[in-house]
Each structure stands twice: as structure tokens, then as C-alpha cells.
């Protein structure tokens, strides 16, 4: 039996993934790091931590598979600096702790188009965390690059709501080379991460949105 670790378990994809981990027979223990407790379960260990102080939580980042589903937007965070902290600094710190403590597998949600050389700050930041993970010593690193995520968020994101509605209407057009740009359900992404973790594929692997859709599709 294995131990799963997760950050971002209260978010859109993370909440779905957390439930899958708790329901799974593959994991007998799930450790969540967050700022608040929203779920209680016999298998779940909730650590309420200050994400700005890795020295206080690093020793607790011990297990087998680490799932990083934390993320925000520049608008939601309030500034580029605050956004970078959530999407780069926090994942980097947890990854470093996990690596130092012998965690073998790290899975993270990035974004389609992530590139550390991009002019777009969002894509640049996503690309930078990917670059960091590329040189880590994890046995397995899985990068999820979803297109626009669909689902009911706790916070309202107007642009995503409009974009999601438009992409649903035009979904028939996203075929062939355009398939990776088709919007994807957060439940599908969560399921894909869960399935990919079970394969424990060695090395650094990037899964673009069409592949995530194929792997995580729920009939």
C-alpha cells in the first residue's frame, strides 16, 4: 500500500482527485497540506500549514506519490508576485521537500502552452516550474498540460465561464491537430492524474490536453 500527498485539495481538480485517492484501494494513507480542513476521512491526514514557511512542514512531506493541483490566476491572486508564489514558489518548495524525503513520483497541473521563454507571464511561470521539475531526481515526473478547465469553481472566473461556454459550443471543431485545444472537464483531469500515477512511468513525461482526455475519459 502507498501514501499519497496532495496540495490544492480544496480546488477545482484537487477536490475531485482527493476523493478518488480516499476511495482507492491503492493508497492506505492520504496526506493533505492546506490552510483549512474541508474533508475528514479515516485515511486522511490534514496538515494545516503556512505555505510561506517550508521549514515548518518539510519533514512531513513523506510518502510515495505527490499530487500538486494548486494554482491560481494573476487576477485572482491580485498581482504577478502573488500569482508566482502560488504557481511556482509553493510547488517548487514542496517538490524540493518531497525529493529530499525520498518521494518517488511527482505529478503537477501545468497548462497547455507553458514555456519558460514565453512573453505571457502566466505561461512563462508555468514553464519555469516545468523546467525546475525536469532536473529533479524523482523517479517519475508527470506534467499535465490541460486546455481550458471546465467545472464549478468556488470562486467566479468570468473569462473562464465565457470561454468554457464558447468552447463547448464549438467542441465539434476541435479535431485532429486542434484536439488538444478542446476544453476539458476537471473530473477528467483528476481521473487522468490518478490513472497516470498508477503506471509510475519513469522519467519526465508531458501529457497534453488531448492525451489527458483520452486517459481520463469517464464513460
**Confidence class of residue 164 from pLDDT cuts 50, 70 and 90?**
very low
Element (H, E) at 196: helix 186-199
Q: pLDDT above 70 covers what percent of the chain?
A: 85
Using an 8 Å Cβ cutoff, are 46 and 88 in contact?
A: no
The cell numbers describing 164, all together, are 468554457
Cut 0.85: pTM above it: yes
pLDDT in tens, 132-151: 999 999 999 999 999 999 97
Is 90 exceeded by the pLDDT of residue 158? no
Q: How far apart are CA 109 and CA 106, in angstroms?
A: 10
pLDDT in tens, 72-105: 999 999 999 999 999 999 999 999 999 999 999 9
pLDDT in tens, 27-61: 999 999 998 887 889 999 999 999 999 999 999 99
CA distances from 20 to 6, 23, 38, 121 (A): 12, 5, 15, 32
pLDDT in tens, 186-196: 999 999 999 99
**Structural domains for the chain:** 2-216 (3.40.50.720)
Amino acid at each position: 500500500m502507498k501514501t499519497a500527498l496532495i496540495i490544492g485539495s480544496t480546488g477545482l481538480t484537487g477536490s475531485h482527485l482527493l476523493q478518488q485517492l480516499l476511495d482507492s484501494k491503492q493508497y492506505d494513507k492520504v496526506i493533505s497540506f492546506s490552510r483549512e480542513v474541508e474533508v475528514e476521512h479515516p485515511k486522511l491526514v490534514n496538515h494545516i500549514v503556512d505555505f510561506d514557511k517550508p521549514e515548518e512542514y518539510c519533514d512531513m512531506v513523506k510518502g510515495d506519490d505527490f499530487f500538486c493541483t494548486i494554482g491560481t490566476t494573476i487576477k485572482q491572486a491580485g498581482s504577478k508576485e502573488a500569482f508566482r508564489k502560488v504557481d511556482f514558489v509553493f510547488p517548487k518548495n514542496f517538490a524540493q521537500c518531497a525529493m529530499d524525503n525520498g518521494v518517488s513520483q511527482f505529478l503537477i497541473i501545468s497548462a497547455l502552452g507553458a514555456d519558460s521563454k514565453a512573453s505571457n507571464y502566466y505561461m512563462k511561470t508555468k514553464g519555469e516550474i516545468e523546467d525546475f521539475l525536469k532536473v529533479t531526481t524523482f523517479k517519475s515526473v508527470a506534467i499535465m498540460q490541460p486546455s481550458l478547465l471546465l467545472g464549478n469553481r468556488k470562486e467566479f472566473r468570468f473569462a473562464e465561464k465565457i470561454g468554457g461556454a464558447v468552447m463547448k459550443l464549438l467542441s465539434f471543431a476541435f479535431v485532429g491537430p486542434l484536439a488538444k485545444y478542446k476544453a476539458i472537464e476537471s473530473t477528467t483531469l483528476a481521473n487522468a492524474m490518478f490513472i497516470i500515477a498508477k503506471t509510475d512511468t519513469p522519467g519526465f513525461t508531458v501529457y497534453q490536453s488531448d492525451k489527458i482526455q483520452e486517459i481520463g475519459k469517464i464513460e
